[in-house]
């Protein structure tokens, strides 16, 4: 992919543009579309982005999702998309990662590209084994709220990643939400269990609240509207409010009132242990997936 940034200032250490890296996305599914959408909305030139996917339907879906902006470039060939890219984002399922890496190792090495993987449980070592020891790799765990620009992404870089490349990774994932660097790669398995899978936990909790509301006699439509808005309100208070979670909960919980009755029921049923076991299962699965790929 030809660079479109030759007129921009260069980082003299790396000869890379300070902004607007050319980016190749491998896989044009849900997560890639979200990140590409966020990047384009935040002003990244669409012609500095190329998305590769073997499925013309997926590429067409991506183009439709970006209909308000100029189109990004697309290809059904991964190696073509990677050629000349500054950053390569691996947004395929873990199960096809091995085959994908083998297909792009040559062009990645030739371009000296930064590789960012968003795949759950695929370790830097296993990617390095297929891409070469000198490859700069960032492992990232985003989540689906990236679709709405309110994602949460955690990042970990190997020693080959330079300061400019760290900046690129932050800018790219920062286009769809908050970004946190974690100190160890192992922490990404915990992040996967917390924020990667986390949206599904909240959806499950809302489903359970809606079911319970219906059993208490509400119409499903009413229960659904009230559960959704309550989740939104609680999340906004947790982020924007003037108090920590314990204090926010205390303010809802009138002594001897309805909330206290519910909270005591949750606590005596072992809600905290249930959450711990579920997150441990998710983290264990991330480790198993890494082992499967070898």
x/- letters, 130..169, toward ligand NDP (CB under 6 A) = -----------xxxx-------------------------
Q: How far apart are CA 168 and CA 17, in angstroms?
A: 10
Closest residue to ligand NDP using C-beta atoms: 29
Q: How far apart are CA 259 and CA 191, in angstroms?
A: 30
Residue 51 to residues 62, 77, 155, 272: CA-CA distances in angstroms?
9, 9, 21, 42
Q: Tell which phi-psi region holds residue 212, choosing left (phi > 0), alpha (psi between -120 and 50) or beta.
A: alpha
User: Which of 24, 114, 120, 127 is close enough to bind ligand NDP by CB under 6 A?
Assistant: 120
x/- letters, 51..70, toward ligand NDP (CB under 6 A) = -xxxx--x------------
Q: Which of residues 70-89 bind ligand NDP (CB under 6 A)?
A: 78
For residue 26, say whether it is annotated as part of any ligand binding site: yes
| Segment interacting with ligand A1CAB (CB under 6 A) among 17-25, 49-57, 158-166, 189-197 | 189-197
For residue 113, say whether it is annotated as part of any ligand binding site: no
Q: Which of residues 236-275 bind ligand A1CAB (CB under 6 A)?
A: none
Q: How far apart are CA 60 and CA 51, in angstroms?
A: 11
Q: How far apart are CA 204 and CA 228, in angstroms?
A: 12
Closest residue to ligand A1CAB using C-beta atoms: 196
Q: Which of residues 174-233 bind ligand NDP (CB under 6 A)?
A: 196
- The item of ligand A1CAB, ligand NDP, none sharing an interface with residue 30, based on CB under 5 to 8 Å by kind, is ligand NDP
**The tokens of 2 are what?**
């030809």
C-beta closer to ligand A1CAB: residue 38 or 121? 121
Binding site for ligand NDP (CB under 6 A): 26-32, 52-55, 58, 78, 91-94, 96, 99-100, 118-120, 141-144, 196
Binding site for ligand A1CAB (CB under 6 A): 120, 192, 196-197
Which residue ranges are tagged as binding site for NADPH?
Answer: 78
């Amino acid at each position: 992919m030809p660079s479109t940034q030759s007129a921009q200032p260069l980082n003299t250490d790396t000869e890379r543009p300070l902004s607007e890296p050319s980016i190749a996305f491998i896989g044009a599914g849900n997560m890639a579309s979200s990140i590409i959408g966020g990047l384009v909305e935040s002003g990244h030139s669409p012609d500095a982005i190329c998305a590769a996917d073997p499925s013309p339907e997926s590429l067409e879906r991506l183009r439709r999702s970006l209909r308000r902006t100029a189109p990004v470039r697309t290809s059904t060939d991964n190696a073509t998309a990677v050629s000349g890219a500054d950053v390569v984002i691996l947004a395929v399922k873990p199960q096809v990662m091995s085959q994908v890496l083998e297909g792009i190792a040559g062009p990645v090495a030739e371009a000296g590209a930064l590789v960012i993987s968003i795949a759950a449980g695929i370790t830097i070592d296993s990617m390095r084994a297929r891409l070469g020891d000198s490859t700069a790799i960032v492992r990232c765990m985003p989540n689906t709220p990236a679709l709405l620009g309110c994602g949460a992404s955690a990042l970990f870089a190997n020693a080959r990643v330079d300061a400019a490349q760290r900046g690129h990774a932050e800018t790219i994932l920062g286009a769809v939400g908050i970004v946190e660097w974690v100190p160890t790669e192992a922490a990404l398995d915990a992040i996967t269990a917390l924020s990667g899978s986390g949206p599904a936990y909240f959806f499950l909790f809302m489903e359970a609240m809606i079911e319970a509301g219906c059993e208490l006699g509400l119409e499903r439509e009413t229960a659904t509207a009230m559960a959704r808005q309550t989740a939104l309100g609680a999340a906004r208070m947790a982020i924007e409010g003037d108090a920590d979670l314990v204090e926010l909960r205390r303010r809802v919980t009138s002594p001897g009132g309805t909330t206290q009755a519910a909270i005591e029921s949750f606590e005596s049923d072992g809600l905290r242990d249930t959450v711990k076991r579920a997150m441990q299962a998710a983290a264990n699965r991330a480790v198993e997936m890494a082992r499967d790929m070898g």
